[in-house]
Chain A
Amino acid sequence: MTHIKNIKLIEELISPSDLQKMDAGAAMHLHHSRIEFKVLDADQDAITVRVTQGKSPAENYLSAKELAARAKDLFGYFIPGVDIRARAIPYAPPSVEVVSPEWIQNQMREKGIDNKTIVEMTGVDKANISNWVSGKRPMSQPVKAMFYFMLK
């Protein structure tokens, strides 16, 4: 199993053992930071790599410039002298990530909506609504989405 997508495109530029080490480094980026690499194009002079970051449990998000630097470090370490061109796509949190008990309470206040109205609109029982709004119960992603689209 390889962690760098399209890794076959660079097989002729690097020894099998170095390729394995490079892929192990990519695995560490994936495990710890949700950073993924995909080789888009490669020849003797240049390698074009797409580097993206997904939602990371460690919340260690990088800018586009930093992601590009990680790609250049990883590929340049094993294939020196080749121009590494990185296309970086940093993590962009989904809109629903703004939803917190404080956000819900503010939106309800602004729109003049109370818990009873939400119960009537959604059919969800009052205890659940109350616990989510007060922050007594953590919200799953679908619950956050429900509040987001109801109150945005």
Chain B
Amino acid sequence: MENLISEIKRIANQNPQGFTISLPNLEHVKSGWIVALKETQNSFGDEGLKKVIETSLNTSQKLGGWKEGKDFYWDTVITFDTKEDAIRAGIENGQIAIYHIETASLIYL
């Protein structure tokens, strides 16, 4: 776990504007509709990262992060192949919008 935390922090420091990776291989996610999981919203700092890693490993195996002010924020990310599934999940998770990685397009919900 400590090694995983350290590697994710390294990726975060290289990508403060944001990133989404798969766990445990730490590869950047390059396809699908992105939806953030409601239960990991407002997770930040080291404690937040631990919680989000655990949630991600137990669910979608995907994790996102970005820097806001001095802190890194983290969330568990779910990807969907279809817009319809993503819209449904986005609404269930209280999201403002969903995002399609390949086409860099967003849909407000």
Contacts and interface: CB of A to CB of B under 8 A. Distances in A.
Interface residues of A, number: 24
Interface in A23-67: 24-25, 27-35, 53, 57-60, 62, 66
A58 B108 contact: no
Interface string B43-74: 00000000000000000000010101100000
B17 interface: yes
A44 B101 CA distance: 33
Majority DSSP secondary structure for residues of A touching B: helix
Given A1-B69, A24-B97, A57-B28, A62 B104 contact: yes
A70 B17 CA distance: 19
Interface in B16-50: 17-20, 28-30, 34
Interface of A: 1, 21, 24-25, 27-35, 53, 57-60, 62, 66, 70, 73-74, 77
Given A24-B96, A25-B96, 15 more contacts: A1-B69, A21-B96, A25-B97, A28-B34, A29-B104, A31-B17, A32-B20, A32-B34, A34-B17, A58-B29, A59-B30, A60-B102, A60-B103, A66-B104, A74-B106
